[in-house]
Amino acid sequence: MRRRLYGLGIPLGALLLTAVWAQAARRSAPALLDLGPLATAVEPGEESPGGTTTVTDMGRNAFGRSPPNMDRSRWPEFHLGKRVFDRDWSDPDHLPGLGPLYSANSCMTCHVKDGKGRPPASPAEPVVSLAFQLGSASGPGPHPVYGEQLDLHRLGEARGEGTVEVSYDELPGEFASGEPYSLLRPRYRFKDLAHGPLGEGTPFSARVAPANFGLGLLEAIPEEALLALADPDDRDGDGISGRANQVLDVTEGHTRMGRFGWKANQPTLLQQVTHALVADMGLTTPVYPRAQEPQQAAATPDVKDYDLERLVFYTRLLAVPQRRDWDAPGVLRGKAVFRALGCAACHVDRAFETVDVPGFPELSKQRIQPYSDLLLHDLGEGLADGRPDGLATGREWRTPPLWGIGLTATVSGHTRFLHDGRARNVEEAVLWHGGEADPARERYTRLRREDREALLAFLGSL
């Protein structure tokens, strides 16, 4: 449960927010927030969000480093895993594994430098690191013809199941100060579909590839610590009702809490990796022995056991980068604004301690601060994809971790955010928030420029 003011039953954060915004509402024009008790100093360890796994590299390879607390005897295995991650599965030496239908021919195609993907910049640019997951118009489950994902490539042929043209509508807006802004709403046109139209009412979800680092640490957060943050019935009345997705663990045969993916639809890192292999590249494993086409189990998995072990090892140990300027006055003010707006209700700013991870002392008993509760939240109709996923509705999304967000431009060469990359920068991502986050977004639009810049400086430091 969230922290409450002792004896009154009132969430402490809500009480402070009420005081701050009641004062702001009495002003006729935006003014700098009087943050009072929300003003903050440097907190112990916040410069190292990954604990002792944190790396100091702030350059182009910041998301692809091994943790500094890893024994050097394990370096060869880590680098062998990276070779599998970078492998071009269309190379004849690795055939007939790829496909026959696929969206990418390597992990690195979408996760360049282990970073975030982006949507096409114009309708003429081909889709590379943006996948289109499909549903059925008649109920839960994959599309009856095209399956779970539209694959844009086919092995040995010029095209796959079709192409997608991405364009945008520009939506104007205005801050309370009178300054204008604009947002981009994506439009998708499915063309040259190999088996005919998707069908009226077919739900689909456009999703960019997320960054890969820190996943082993997220898996090691105690489940009870995350469930303690859930409040599906909003019993504390703060308007935030996060809940855990419950999805099938295909290796164990029962449901458990989802942690990975835009809708927390994968419960373990092994399942996240193997599902990506089969969905994006048509590569079968013992976890997913069936490719999308043909619909029969492969006699022998495409990915050898030792390659899968190396790939999961590499993905599990990718380290979190250190923060920059965490002690700068403007960043500290931005942290206080972040809390005052209510952003920390979902992007929780508390630290977690990881469990003991067998075989991975690097990840065990680490104090980490990912700025996420890994729970599902309703973000409103503006961001809805209409496609349920496990318990997640078409309006719900997992709170994405914010660590490393300020290095996206350096590593990935762009600043596109949100599940489909529609936001051209962090500010646009904030302005797209709705549903449970609508009050926080509205407060942001009423800030003076100086406080908006402080908040963005704080996010850029993460």
Rg (CA), the chain: 22
Stretch 111-119: mean pLDDT: 97
**Total-model pTM:** 0.91
Interatomic CA distance for residues 6 and 427, integer angstroms: 35
* Residue appearing with tokens 């943006």: 130
**Average pLDDT along the chain:** 91
Can you give the pLDDT at residue 29?
A: 57
Instruction: Name the helix (H) or strand (E) containing 181.
Output: strand 180-191
Q: Is the dihedral of CA 272, 274, 278, 281 positive or negative?
A: positive
Percent of the chain topping pLDDT 90: 82
Domain layout of the chain by residue ranges: 4-461
pLDDT surpasses 50 at 158? yes
Stretch 423-439: mean pLDDT: 98
Can you give the pLDDT at residue 85?
A: 97
Amino acid 13 reads G
pLDDT surpasses 80 at 160? yes
Q: Is 210 helix (H, G, I), strand (E, B) or coil?
A: coil
Can you give the pLDDT at residue 180?
A: 97
Interatomic CA distance for residues 409 and 368, integer angstroms: 23
pLDDT tens digits, 271-325: 999 999 999 999 999 999 876 554 555 568 999 999 999 999 999 999 999 999 9
Can you give the pLDDT at residue 294?
A: 46
pLDDT tens digits, 67-85: 999 999 999 999 999 999 9
Can you give the pLDDT at residue 41?
A: 86
Among 220, 204, 183, 196, CA closest to 416: 183
DSSP label at residue 29 = S
Percent of the chain topping pLDDT 70: 90
User: 443 pLDDT band (50/70/90 cuts)?
Assistant: very high
Interatomic CA distance for residues 217 and 357, integer angstroms: 9
Tokens of 443: 């407060």
Stretch 369-376: mean pLDDT: 98
Lowest mean pLDDT among 30-44, 235-249, 347-361, 391-405: 30-44
Interatomic CA distance for residues 16 and 443, integer angstroms: 14
Can you give the pLDDT at residue 92?
A: 75
Stretch 29-44: mean pLDDT: 77
Q: Is 2 helix (H, G, I), strand (E, B) or coil?
A: coil
* Residue appearing with tokens 């289109």: 132
CB-count exposure of residue 237 (10 Å: 0-12, 13-18, 19+): exposed
Stretch 170-191: mean pLDDT: 97
Alpha helix stretches (DSSP H) within 146-268: 215-219, 223-227
Interatomic CA distance for residues 357 and 69, integer angstroms: 14
Tokens of 113: 């430098």
pLDDT tens digits, 254-264: 999 999 999 99
pLDDT surpasses 50 at 1? no
